Amino acid sequence: MSDFQTFPLLLSIVKKPFFAYYTHIANKIEVIDLKQIKLACTGYILISIVFYITGFLCIVNPELMQLHGRTLAGAILITYGIIKIIGYFSKDLYCLAFQYDFACGIFLIVLAIATLCIGTRFKDSSLLAALGILVLLDSLLSIQTALDSKKFGLSSWKYILIISIVTGTFGVLVILKNTLTFAGFALLAEGFMRHYIVHLTAQLPDYRYLNDNELSK
């Protein structure tokens, strides 16, 4: 056998175990990514539900929120911040839903600690104004997400834009009017905006080539 015939044979012998190992490692990494994306999406859905409930309570039972709103706000901000940080490190298909979440997550956690530790020094009106600013800033980032979605060719970008503008409007009203009623509507809008954006843009990659045993690990 000549050298020209031997070399391809040796290459094929070495290549098979190498690519098998590489494929196995790649599959493991992608399974981790899949679990992380699902965790982030689940977290956003749960925090959206929390926003729905809190917003509803602000509207129908403002006295309860005045008594426990500060502690509840701190707990929600910490949870929301952690979810945002997890989302940032998730690799979804379009990389749209969580692209600004790391800095936002850190900021929310710091704000939560400040609210819980020194919040009693501030008036409730200041906390409502802070809520309005947060909702407004989040809606502005969502407007950017809508424009990025348009670049990706997602037809739903216009709905994201409309929802973001409506949510931002409620944020402005909370700042100007400083009432729990507007705060409740702002939280309802914020919850719906987050829920809708994650549902539309946090698309999972196609892992059909992975078997059920790997996905269940």
- CA torsion 87-91-46-152 (nearest 10°) is 100
Burial class of 114 by CB neighbour count within 10 A (0 to 12, 13 to 18, 19+): middle
Secondary-structure breakdown of the chain: helix, strand, coil percentages, each rounded to the nearest 5: 85, 0, 15
Q: For residues 76 and 183, is the Cβ–Cβ distance under 8 A?
A: no
| 10: in domain | no
| 117: in domain | yes
Could you report the per-residue pLDDT of 5-21, keeping only the tens digit for each?
554 544 455 444 444 43
- The residue type found at 203 is Q
Q: Distance from CA of residue 207 to its chain's centroid?
A: 22
| 27: in domain | no
| 119: in domain | yes
| 216: in domain | no
CA distance 172 to 96: 25
- The residue type found at 45 is I
In this prediction, residue 25 carries a pLDDT of 38
| 7: in domain | no
| 18: in domain | no
Cβ count near 165 (within 10 Å)? 15
Domain count along the chain: 1
- The residue type found at 20 is A
Range of the domain at 91: 32-202
SS3 204: coil
| 125: in domain | yes
Residues (pLDDT < 70) of the chain are: 1-33, 91-98, 118-124, 202-217
Q: For residues 73 and 50, is the Cβ–Cβ distance under 8 A?
A: no
Q: For residues 148 and 96, is the Cβ–Cβ distance under 8 A?
A: yes
CA distance 189 to 170: 8
Q: For residues 172 and 210, is the Cβ–Cβ distance under 8 A?
A: no
CA distance 31 to 25: 10
Could you report the per-residue pLDDT of 106-131, keeping only the tens digit for each?
989 998 888 888 655 445 677 888 89
Give the DSSP H or E segment for 174: helix 157-177
